[in-house]
């Protein structure tokens, strides 16, 4: 085994053969990991970590990086990697035994991390290290790790009184359990629902590949006809294409009431979980000396105060509103005059929008989709990355958790720099949405380089058999954008050159800047010299015609005003929920989102809409009081991409030194310095909102 691939194994090596979760010698052994391994592995690692903590609590004549930080990192990294594998499996191949083992061990793991964050002896040693002569001799990356650790100890309750700490620990455990329960309820409600349509005539307007997938789903369940679920690739085409209005209404209601009191099963209602989480977050904030949880959330972020975030969002709403009002007026007029839909209902919006797009720009999303078979898109994405950042991406082998999962390696000049798993298709037991997560980070320990590994997960429609012919998965252009987005996160993690675990890759990056590389990558989906290399018609193999691409460009900002206001609505709801709501006795979460919609939205959903009950980003995904990050970082990403546009005036968008500079100043440095410093090093100035407005078609 090469020293590049070998990780520090510690004293768990002897039991690794018996328990694959304790084997840190290389990649996770997904082919061998079973639910029954989890409790034993976590118990072993928690015992190992507690022993290490006890040793490090002892007095030291001199606290150094080598004697204190490194051994603590060694132990906690192993626990983090093992629990990360368990959490990943829980998200992508949920089964009753796996869920039971995860939930059994979640309180134990949470209790350990909470106790670690409150450990005054360790906190004192970080302070001693900060105050020592050695600190000024450390690399900037190590200095930032020490500073971040001290901040996290304060946020972890280390400065609380002994009387307060037990309650703080209870809050952390309860929040972890509620977050997991929230996610499980969304998954269970999604998995349990099925809409069976036996009369094919009711599916008029639906594309053939969508019908084929629905028919295959019904066959797999031993049912006649066509089966639709609440997984996005299954239900959204009904909203977008089905001529049958009643069908659209049925699936819309099912989707927007899942995991709520209006859903199919009261056991999956997340209303109580949301209320409980908000109360606990508010209590946590007050214990730490803050007025609300939004203030706590912003401590490690770029934005300074909730008021600053709210002002940013309201300014964006004000700029977008005239465009959104125009979008909605056009849509209602078209729906009434051309489609006979009056009034325009929520379940009509996607359908009418697609029809209007087809009429105005003379193409449909379904037409475009035929040119984006998944293997060709993947090849085009890899070609872009290889040209931009001078790396090679090659197929690789590793144990995987599902036959659909692919595995690749990234090399530079023949040397391994990173690897990634690609899990692209929706399936039962897999959490919805798209995300990137790290399997391990880049780290140099005693001259042995550990290279980073990432999970890249999407929920696209799986390949289907149409008329007896196996066809590759076909991606919508929105799917392509999603893939590029998640890969941007992956590049941030895998192309880092920082070798200190706490700030390599995405580690240590401010949450409201972490979307910069992901949203930056989306821009390339609108560049002809990129798109032309990742298209081939599913039937003929012909590339996307330039004329059709030009129509896509013309339609790029179709309804961008409505889309921007929708994101602002979600962001303001999240921020107000954690800033000035805190579940007052006379208010409910529903009343908060209703008030926000009255203030900023132009398209108000029906009263039964329970969007918040499946808003996993803020209740199960780490974005609490941080959903604004998408728009905040979009200012940075659009401005950063502006440098490529400026360079393209003298050549092409992939040429020159701009890609290398983006690699050097943004991707390579990870979290080793403040994100604003990285942006200014790349762009040579502070960010401005101009490029975002221009890209969105909302420039003055």
Catalytic residues: 486
What does 429-491 look like in DSSP terms, one character per residue?
TS-SS-EEEEEE--EEETTEEEPPEEEEEEEEPPPEEETTEEE--B--HHHHHHHHHHHHHHH
User: How far is Cα 271 from Cα 274, in angstroms, rounded to an integer?
Assistant: 5
β-pair partners for 410: 393, 418
User: How far is Cα 83 from Cα 89, in angstroms, rounded to an integer?
Assistant: 10
* CA torsion angle 203 205 206 209 (round to 10): 120
User: How far is Cα 27 from Cα 421, in angstroms, rounded to an integer?
Assistant: 11
Neighbour-count burial for 70-92, b at 16+ CB within 10 Å, e otherwise: eebbbbbbbbbbbbbbbebbbbb
**Contacts for 12 with CB less than 8 Å, ≥ 6 apart:** 22, 23, 24, 44, 45, 48, 78
**Residue 613 Ramachandran class (φ > 0 left, ψ -120 to 50 alpha, else beta):** alpha
Quick one: which of 146, 152, 128 has its CA closest to 500? Answer: 146
> Which residue's structure tokens are 């609505």?
569
Radius of gyration of the chain (CA): 25
Q: Please report, for residues 64, 165, 255, the alpha-carbon distance to residue 124 in angstroms, rounded to integers and kept in the order given.
A: 13, 17, 50
The answer to whether the bond into 343 is cis (omega within 30° of 0) is: yes
Quick one: which of 431, 365, 396 has its CA closest to 91? Answer: 431
Quick one: which of 419, 421, 424, 413 has its CA closest to 389? Answer: 413
User: What values do phi and psi take at 592, rounded to 5?
Assistant: -65, -50
């Amino acid at each position: 085994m090469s020293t590049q691939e070998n990780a520090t194994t510690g004293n768990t090596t002897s039991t690794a053969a018996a328990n694959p979760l304790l084997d840190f010698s290389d990649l996770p052994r997904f082919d061998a990991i079973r639910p029954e391994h989890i409790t034993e592995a976590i118990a072993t690692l928690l015992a190992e970590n507690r022993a290490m903590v006890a040793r490090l609590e002892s007095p030291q004549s001199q606290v150094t990086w080598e004697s204190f930080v490194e051994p603590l990192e060694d132990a906690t990294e192993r626990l983090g990697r093992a629990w990360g594998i368990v959490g990943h499996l829980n998200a992508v191949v949920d089964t009753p035994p796996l869920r039971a083992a995860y939930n059994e061990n979640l309180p134990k793991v949470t209790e350990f991390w909470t106790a670690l964050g409150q450990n005054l002896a360790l906190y004192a040693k970080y302070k001693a290290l900060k105050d020592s002569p050695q600190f000024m001799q450390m690399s900037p990356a190590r200095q930032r790790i020490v500073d971040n650790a001290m901040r996290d100890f304060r946020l972890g309750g280390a400065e609380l009184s002994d009387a307060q700490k037990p309650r703080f620990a209870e809050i952390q455990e309860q929040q972890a359990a509620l977050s997991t329960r929230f996610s499980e309820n969304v998954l269970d409600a999604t998995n349990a629902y099925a809409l069976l349509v036996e009369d094919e005539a009711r599916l008029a307007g639906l594309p053939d590949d969508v019908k084929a997938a629905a028919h295959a789903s019904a066959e797999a369940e031993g049912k006649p006809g066509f089966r639709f679920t609440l997984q996005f690739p299954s239900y959204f085409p009904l909203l977008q294409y089905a001529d049958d209005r009643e069908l659209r209404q049925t699936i819309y209601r099912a989707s927007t009431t899942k995991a709520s009191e209006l859903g199919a099963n009261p056991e999956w209602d997340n209303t109580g979980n949301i209320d409980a989480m908000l109360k606990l977050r508010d209590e946590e904030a007050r214990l730490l000396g803050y007025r609300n949880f939004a203030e706590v959330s912003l401590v490690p972020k770029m934005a300074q105060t909730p008021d600053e975030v709210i002002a940013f969002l309201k300014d964006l709403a004000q700029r977008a509103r005239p465009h959104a009002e125009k979008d909605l007026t056009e849509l209602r007029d078209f729906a009434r005059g051309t489609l006979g839909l009056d009034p325009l209902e929520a379940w009509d919006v996607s359908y009418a929008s697609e029809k209007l797009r087809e009429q105005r720009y003379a193409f449909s999303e379904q037409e475009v989709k035929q040119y984006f078979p998944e293997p060709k898109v993947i090849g085009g994405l890899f070609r872009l990355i290889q040209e931009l950042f001078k790396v090679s991406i090659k197929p690789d082998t590793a144990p995987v958790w599902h036959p659909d999962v692919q595995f690749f390696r990234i090399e530079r000049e023949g040397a391994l720099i990173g690897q990634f798993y690609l899990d692209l298709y929706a399936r039962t037991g897999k959490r919805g949405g798209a995300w990137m997560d790290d399997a391990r980070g880049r780290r140099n320990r005693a001259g042995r380089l550990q290279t980073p590994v990432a999970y890249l997960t999407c929920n696209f429609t799986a390949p289907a058999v149409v008329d007896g012919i196996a066809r590759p998965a076909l991606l919508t252009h929105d799917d392509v954008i999603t893939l590029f987005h998640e890969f941007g996160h992956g590049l941030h993690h895998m192309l880092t050159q920082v070798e200190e675990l706490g700030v390599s890759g995405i580690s240590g990056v401010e949450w409201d800047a972490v979307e910069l590389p992901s949203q930056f990558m989306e821009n390339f989906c609108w560049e002809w010299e990129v798109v032309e290399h990742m298209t081939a018609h599913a039937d003929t193999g012909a590339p996307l015609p330039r004329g059709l691409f030009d129509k896509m460009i013309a339609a790029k900002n179709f309804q961008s005003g409505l889309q921007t206001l929708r994101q602002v609505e979600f962001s303001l709801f999240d921020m107000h929920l954690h800033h000035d709501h805190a579940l007052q006795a006379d208010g409910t979460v529903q009343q908060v989102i209703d008030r926000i919609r009255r203030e900023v939205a132009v398209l108000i959903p029906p009263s039964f809409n329970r969007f918040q009950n499946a808003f996993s980003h803020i209740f199960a995904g780490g974005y609490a009081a941080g959903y604004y990050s998408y728009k905040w970082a979009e200012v940075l990403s659009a401005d950063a991409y502006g440098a490529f546009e400026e360079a393209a005036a003298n050549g092409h968008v992939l040429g020159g030194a701009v890609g290398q500079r983006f690699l050097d100043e943004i991707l390579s440095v990870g979290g080793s310095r403040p994100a604003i410093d990285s942006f200014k090093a790349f762009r040579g100035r502070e960010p401005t909102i101009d490029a975002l407005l221009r890209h969105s078609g909302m420039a003055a």
